[in-house]
Chains A and B, each alone.
Chain A
């Protein structure tokens, strides 16, 4: 066999914002410890779990509790508490702004794919989706509504709540202080960390996808596995 020089391996890695990227390199893939994950989770520990445990991750990771915070859901005329679905539904959360054209659509798409799967496979009532904007100045109720329509979100099935902190200050409290998703910027341009949380019905994180959207299908696979094992 003639080895073909791979020309596709241009790794497009995250461009560091100044020197702020920690760039925690998990080269070489550490094996998972033999003792599985913490109690209360049903998914296997993430592949790099042993290493992740050693890092003081700013966001809730596998096996940790879903932080509780109450944020208005402008398309529902009420506030939603992140933990209100505990005991009732699994939840997925992410943190975006609607004018973002890079990573955010990928994050929302991952949630949207699970939502679409939940509808076609009949488990829409088992899940709740809670994307949160950190740019409330731009992301008014109307902007959020248009965004949901553009992204193909199903708003009829009643499992999608787009959350909007009232002010930029409140957005800092909710997104950065509570969930550990750092962001900085304004005027339609932000640098921000990327996170999706898949949380089980007991309010424990089953997966924290960081460093960019998960690969196509990964979140849906994990959501189905969670559903099956619950």
Chain B
């Protein structure tokens, strides 16, 4: 069982101002074997066909960003992701995944509308039951990951990042 080895902020004032990362336990699921892939529902949206996607897909590098439609930082990340996507080849699995519960107050159509509004043009999928988010120990959004072709996490980042960073992390994973 994975141990939580960090408890922070008991009785403390946590500095949580602009851009400060929140506390979380980063315990990689890497043990040399990589992350077991999860089947996610892909949402019909610009650049994204409805269906099932395997994430992370073994055999090629995967870039993944977890997001939510309420998240302003995620919104501001879209141009960065678009730029990074534009320079990533077809040999990279590039996708965004919302981990909001869908179907009740936020529907798939809402995600599609958000995607269109923010000019997404790559695969967008849903992790409504948090299977992938749990596997990755992702406690917030946006949360970006790069996996190598053996599904090992080579990079993870919570919060804002840039197209340049994503590009170089993808390149590094390609080896």
For A119, give its contact among B12, B13, B104 (CB under 8 Å): B104
Give the complex CA separation of A52 and B9 in angstroms. Answer: 12
For B7, give its contact among A25, A182, A217 (CB under 8 Å): A25
Indicate if the CB atoms of B158 and A12 lie closer than 8 Å. Answer: yes
User: Is A85 close to B, CB under 8 A?
Assistant: no
Indicate if the CB atoms of A180 and B11 lie closer than 8 Å. Answer: yes
In the assembled complex, which residues on chain B have CB atoms less than 8 Å from the CB atom of A192?
13-14, 16
Indicate if the CB atoms of B10 and A211 lie closer than 8 Å. Answer: yes
In the assembled complex, which residues on chain B have CB atoms less than 8 Å from the CB atom of A211?
6-10, 14, 23
Q: Which residue of B lies closest to A1 (CB)?
A: B32
Indicate if the CB atoms of A23 and B8 lie closer than 8 Å. Answer: yes
User: Is B112 close to A, CB under 8 A?
Assistant: no
B166 to chain A minimum Cβ distance, whole angstroms, is: 15
User: Is B72 close to A, CB under 8 A?
Assistant: yes
Total A-B Cβ pairs within 8 A: 214
Count of chain A residues with a beta carbon within 8 Å of a chain B beta carbon: 73
User: Is A191 close to B, CB under 8 A?
Assistant: yes
User: Is A87 close to B, CB under 8 A?
Assistant: no
In the assembled complex, which residues on chain B have CB atoms less than 8 Å from the CB atom of A25?
6-8
Indicate if the CB atoms of A191 and B3 lie closer than 8 Å. Answer: no
In the assembled complex, which residues on chain B have CB atoms less than 8 Å from the CB atom of A119?
104
Task: Select the stretch in A37-45, A68-76, A102-110, A128-136 that faces chain B.
Answer: A102-110
15 contacts between A and B (CB under 8 A): A16-B12, A24-B11, A25-B6, A27-B5, A28-B5, A48-B7, A112-B101, A113-B130, A150-B70, A153-B105, A210-B7, A211-B6, A212-B139, A215-B138, A220-B130
